[in-house]
Amino acid sequence: MPDLLLTQDDNFDKKKTCMKNIKFVLLIVTASILFWSCGEETLDSKSIFDNDEQVMNEFDQWLYTNFTVPYNIEFKYRFDDKESNTNYNLTPARLDKSVALAILVKHLWIDVYEELLGKEFLSKYSPRLFHLIGSPAYNSQGSIILGTAEGGLKVTLYNVNMIDVENPDIDMLNYWYFKTMHHEFAHILHQTKSYTTDFNLISATDYQSGSWVNIGDDEALQMGFVSPYGSSESQEDFVEVLAVYVTNTDEYWQSMLEVAGDEGAAKITQKFHIVEDYLKSSWNIDITELREIVIRRSAEVETMDLTKLN
Amino acid sequence: MNDNYKNMKKIRNITFLLGIILFFSCNPVEENLFEDSSSIRISKALQDTHDVLTNAENGWLMEYFPSSQQTYGGFNVLAKFSDAEVTITSEIADYDTTEKSSFSLKQSAGPVLTFDTYNEIFHTFSDPNSSKSGLGDNGVGMGGDFEFLILKSTQDSVILKGKKTGNRIIMTPIQSGTDWGAYVEELQEASEIMAFKNFEYHVAGQIIPVRVSYRSLIMTYTNEEGNEVTVSAPYIQTLTGYKLYQPLTILGVTVEAFNYGKEGDTEYFTPVNGTDARLVAVFPPLNQTLVSGDWFFAFSGLGSFGKTYWNHAKVNGLDAIGEVLYYAYLGTHSDGKYAFSFASAFGSSLYGGALHFNYELIDENKVKYSFALTGAGDGVWYYNNAQFVYLIYPLYGGSNKTFTLTADNEKDPSWILLTDDSDPDNTIKLFANQIIWPFSN
């Protein structure tokens, strides 16, 4: 009965030896299986994902040189269902309108930030994709969408087909596109670095959610919002302050404050100071300098030829 | 120990068996079902489709049906594809204009053809701004597609499926030598000649009344089971007649397309496949035409009697509440009842409603109207608060009124004039086309 004499430890050691043997056998078996089974498989050097080949036209080439290479931005002017919101009925953008908008985006947006902060800032924080849509997106409450941003990566610009290429109306362009782009870019900034929650307290009980469509311009100002859309919720409020401020003259801003009345103006000014401090401390952006550049460049649009790529 | 040892043994045996199984199950050479990778096959399929599209030297005739219900019927679109550009014309545009834009072929859920930059002609069907086509609700428009799954592509035909609507769209090559402009002009002429509002469909020994809505034949009949059914058969205009979106089977008789014909004063269509059936154009009496359609008011169409009453409603009703009448018509309101139906604009908001009317048809050209004293939507509100009783008073004069009807063209009137039998100053001209802002028109 030698087995009975074994101690606990011996038993354990024995087990270890067995395990070693098993491991060894397993290793041999596995190795031989692998050796036989995979002998003749080779990998195809071509990727299976690269299907959408497109002939590059002059515009594509220009975009590649001016947007993609320096800033890693894709400017998608062709309608792409994968990038579109299928809840809406939309149309593609016209080619000539897309060309005009690309020239304008470069002049009034990319070059603005580059002038202020250098190339690196945009190549790091700019949305990676701009997608153009010819029509507006119509909401069921009767409002229309001008632009949307998703997670700091993508900005969609709507209603591109209404741009007048021959006689660009800078106020309209600022309202439709550049205010929208500063608005969306501001979302990217605050999604990257948060602003103080003190901002949310200024109009805490006044936010309207979807009912913002029922608020008139003057009414919004008197409530302490720079625009009706700003009254929808605090994040929109925050980015609207930035967008409205940088795309309008000081004269306009002062007239807004006048319409707003004492109470409204106080709230707007309080919000503005938070935005101003946030941009300075988090991004080293002087908002007034930013506005000066935007306004100077806006004035230059009148003499630009929006039909020629150079 | 014993247990342990048994376990070891078991594991060893299992490992050994596993080794054998794996060794035999693993066939060293994988047979590929296809010669090339999926990527190469997709690229090749797209390239083949591209070749098919561009090889048709005089382009393709596209039978395009917008709207997921094909509500508006079909439209002929002519499309010529080159490397990355497509040239488009259509019967909805001037016959001698073409528009260029881009197209792409790409892989999505299968090969997809997309018209991916805006084309003034082609995207009319999908533009959500309803003023572009004049049809549909704002935000929807005609509800057409510009992205299509390619179901089949050969040099004889390409079959597409709209991504949103699921509508089947057939393209056939246009014969070389066919002049696009002349072809479109012929189509437009055919469409004018073959425009009817009502038919009688003679089929299987029955006569079924047919109403035309846009390019759809709406038929209501009693089927083999004895149930009353309504079918809608969308069609597209051809040079010789109508081609249906899908085969129409009524009482066992199937038709795919009709040819137009005319004998004396009778205009009719017969099935292209020779089946025994006949679609005969009928022109209902004028009073029937009036009550079966929607006929729009314009201030300029009112006689002196009506103008006085409408002015009163404007000054004391609409102006007082800061609204402007957006449209008003006599016809079927959205509740399905015959009514004076209207919309009133307050800023950019529209409020709609109706005041119900009863009618009695007398002979072929007289109608007797009386107010039903009920309303729908905001109808009663406007009756009580915006003096709308003055808008409808000329129609019934407090109890009822009988009118004699005349029109510019009895077969296809663009307007109908109602003349009050008891007061020649009370005339009302109603229009077939929608009149927006009736007080300014």
Q: In Å, how far are A78, A247, B118 from A163, measured between CA atoms? A: 16, 18, 13
pLDDT digit string, tens, across residues A211-263? 888 899 999 999 999 999 999 999 999 999 999 999 999 999 999 999 999 99
* Residue B81 sits at the chain A interface (C-beta within 8 Å): no
pLDDT for residue B291: 94
- Contact status, residue B88 vs residue B101, Cβ threshold 8 Å: yes
Give the DSSP H or E segment for B415: strand B415-420
Lowest average pLDDT, out of A42-46, A239-243, B384-388, B412-416, goes to A42-46
- Contact status, residue B174 vs residue B156, Cβ threshold 8 Å: no
Distance from CA of B380 to the nearest CA of A (A): 25
pLDDT for residue B28: 56
Give the span between the Cα atoms of B194 and B410, in whole angstroms.
Answer: 16
pLDDT digit string, tens, across residues B156-174? 999 999 999 999 999 999 9
Taking alpha carbons only, the member of A186, A210, A212 closest to residue A199 is A186
* Residue B424 sits at the chain A interface (C-beta within 8 Å): no
Lowest average pLDDT, out of A193-207, B37-51, B137-151, goes to B37-51
Average pLDDT over residues B85-114: 93
Average pLDDT over residues A91-117: 95
Distance from CA of B179 to the nearest CA of A (A): 27
Give burial (CB, 10 Å; 0-12/13-18/19+) of A205. exposed
Distance from CA of B127 to the nearest CA of A (A): 6
- Contact status, residue B431 vs residue B289, Cβ threshold 8 Å: no
Phi, psi of A20 (to 5 degrees): -60, -45
Q: Where do we find the tokens 């179901």?
A: B151
**Chain B residue with Cα closest to A77:** B117
- Tell me if A89 and B146 make a contact (CB, 8 A cut-off): no
* Chain A residue numbers touching B349 (CB-CB < 8 A): 142
**Chain B residue with Cα closest to A29:** B19
- Tell me if A92 and B163 make a contact (CB, 8 A cut-off): no
pLDDT digit string, tens, across residues A30-49? 555 555 555 555 666 665 55
Which of A54, A95, A136 shows the shortest C-beta gap to B117?
Answer: A95
pLDDT for residue A44: 63
Distance from CA of A162 to the nearest CA of B (A): 12
- Tell me if B128 and A90 make a contact (CB, 8 A cut-off): yes
Give the span between the Cα atoms of B380 and A188, in whole angstroms.
Answer: 51
Which of B28, B39, B42 shows the shortest C-beta gap to A39?
Answer: B28
* Residue B420 sits at the chain A interface (C-beta within 8 Å): no
How many residues make up chain B in this entry?
441
First to last CA, chain A: 98
- Tell me if A29 and B46 make a contact (CB, 8 A cut-off): no
- Contact status, residue B151 vs residue B161, Cβ threshold 8 Å: yes
Distance from CA of B397 to the nearest CA of A (A): 39
Taking alpha carbons only, the member of B231, B213, B232, B214 closest to residue B222 is B231
* Residue B43 sits at the chain A interface (C-beta within 8 Å): yes
pLDDT band at A21 (very low <50, low <70, confident <90, very high): low
Distance from CA of A9 to the nearest CA of B (A): 12
- Contact status, residue A168 vs residue A299, Cβ threshold 8 Å: no
- Tell me if A26 and B15 make a contact (CB, 8 A cut-off): yes
**Residue A40, number of CB atoms within 10 A of its CB:** 8
Give the span between the Cα atoms of B267 and B263, in whole angstroms.
Answer: 7
Give the span between the Cα atoms of B115 and A164, in whole angstroms.
Answer: 22
Mean pLDDT estimate for chain A: 84
* Residue B381 sits at the chain A interface (C-beta within 8 Å): no
Give the span between the Cα atoms of A21 and A27, in whole angstroms.
Answer: 10
- Tell me if B16 and A33 make a contact (CB, 8 A cut-off): no
pLDDT for residue A293: 96
Average pLDDT over residues B223-241: 95
Q: Where do we find the tokens 């009502």?
A: B198
Give the span between the Cα atoms of B226 and B280, in whole angstroms.
Answer: 24
- Tell me if B146 and A91 make a contact (CB, 8 A cut-off): yes
pLDDT for residue B334: 85
pLDDT digit string, tens, across residues B208-225? 999 999 999 999 999 999
Give burial (CB, 10 Å; 0-12/13-18/19+) of B99. middle
pLDDT for residue A37: 53
Which residues are B407's β-sheet partners? B416
Q: How much is the pTM?
A: 0.75
* Chain B residue numbers touching A91 (CB-CB < 8 A): 118, 123, 126-128, 146
Distance from CA of B15 to the nearest CA of A (A): 7
pLDDT for residue A3: 34
* Chain A residue numbers touching B148 (CB-CB < 8 A): none
* Chain A residue numbers touching B11 (CB-CB < 8 A): 22
Which of B22, B38, B83 shows the shortest C-beta gap to A48?
Answer: B38
pLDDT band at A1 (very low <50, low <70, confident <90, very high): very low
Q: Encoding tokens for residue A2?
A: 């030698």
Distance from CA of B349 to the nearest CA of A (A): 9
Phi, psi of A134 (to 5 degrees): -70, -40
* Chain B residue numbers touching A214 (CB-CB < 8 A): none
pLDDT digit string, tens, across residues A49-81? 554 556 688 999 999 999 999 999 999 999 988
Taking alpha carbons only, the member of B361, B394, B410, B355 closest to residue B378 is B355
244-273 in chain B: CB under 8 A from chain A:
none
